[in-house]
Amino acid sequence: MKILIAEDDSLTLTLLSHWLKEAGYAFDCACNGLEAVALAYQDNHYPLCIIDIEMPELNGVAAADLIRTHQPHIAFIFTSSSVEHKNYCLNRAQDTFIEKPCTQSKLMALIEEANILKVL
């Protein structure tokens, strides 16, 4: 199984990719919300998506809503540097929120809590 990462900041995307690879997870990357939706519609096997809320083309919340119509059981970890987004995201079923910048240990703990992935 793969994790879908949707992040428009190249430095953050590189860091997330490094952490997931180091932990043994497979993943695909999207640089904006539209790419994330396209990848999710191509591969119906993402149990988890780590998605930035503020992205070009299509924001993370709108992208998540579209992805969930195709993959209703997918869980989302929303990321944002704005704490204002936290309450909104935590009120969504199957979803959680992590404030940027985050630590590797905090992200890995959230992934483990989801208890839905298999380490490759």
pLDDT (tens digit, 9 = 90+) per residue, 59-95? 999 999 999 999 988 999 999 988 777 777 767 766 8
Range of the domain at 102: 2-114
pLDDT value at position 14?
Answer: 96
- Whether 120 is covered by a domain: the verdict is no
- Whether 89 is covered by a domain: the verdict is yes
What pLDDT band is residue 120 in, cutting at 50, 70 and 90?
very low
* Exposure letters 65-102 (e unless 16+ CB within 10 A, then b): ebbbeebeebbbbbbbeeeebbeebeebeebbbbeeeb
> How many separate domains does the chain show?
1
Mean pLDDT of the chain: 88
Q: The whole model's pTM is what? A: 0.89
- Whether 107 is covered by a domain: the verdict is yes
Look up the CATH number of the domain holding residue 97.
Answer: 3.40.50.2300
Those residues whose C-beta lies under 8 Å from the C-beta of residue 67, and which sit 6 or more positions away, are 4, 36, 37, 40, 41, 46, 49, 74
